[in-house]
Amino acid sequence: MKKKILAGLLTVSACFALGSTSFAATAPTTTIDPTPVSNVTSSPTYEEITIYMDSGEQRYIPGVLRELIYNDGAIILHENGWVSAVQYGAASIFAYDASGNIKAFTILVDRI
């Protein structure tokens, strides 16, 4: 009787062992392909900024490259990025940074 019980237990344990290995063998395997952080790029941003100035006032416009789009004589854009308000009017300046981001500045000069 003991031999039959022992044989039955061995049979059951063998079935469990074979069953668990077959499940492990059929499980799908996936590999993660991480993208290095240096290869991640973002698209340039665009931002509109309105600046109110009085005649005679000066402000700095940040950016690597500044481009004067419109000026009705209201400002003087200096090469170093400073803007001098000289008379009543408006002007538009695009400033680019090293990452290609664009800031569009609208400068409105008021009378004193």
Structural domain count, the chain = 1
Q: The domain containing residue 57 runs over which residues? A: 44-110
Does residue 93 sit within a domain?
Answer: yes
Residue 48 covered by a domain: yes
Question: pLDDT tens digit string along 86-101?
Answer: 999 999 999 999 888 9
Q: How many CB atoms lie within 10 A of CB 91?
A: 23
- Residue 5 inside a domain? The answer is no
Q: Is residue 33 part of a domain?
A: no
In a domain, 19, yes or no: no
In a domain, 34, yes or no: no
Tokens representing 11?
């049979």
CB 78 within 8 A of CB 22: no
- Whether 61 maps to a domain, the answer reads yes
Q: What is the pLDDT of residue 56?
A: 94
pLDDT digits (tens, 9 = 90+) for 43-88: 889 999 999 999 999 999 998 899 999 999 999 999 999 999 999 9
CATH (domain of 71)? 2.60.40
Residue 89 — φ and ψ, nearest 5°? 155, -160
* pTM for the structure as a whole: 0.61
What does pLDDT average to over the chain? 81
Which pLDDT value is given to residue 10? Answer: 54
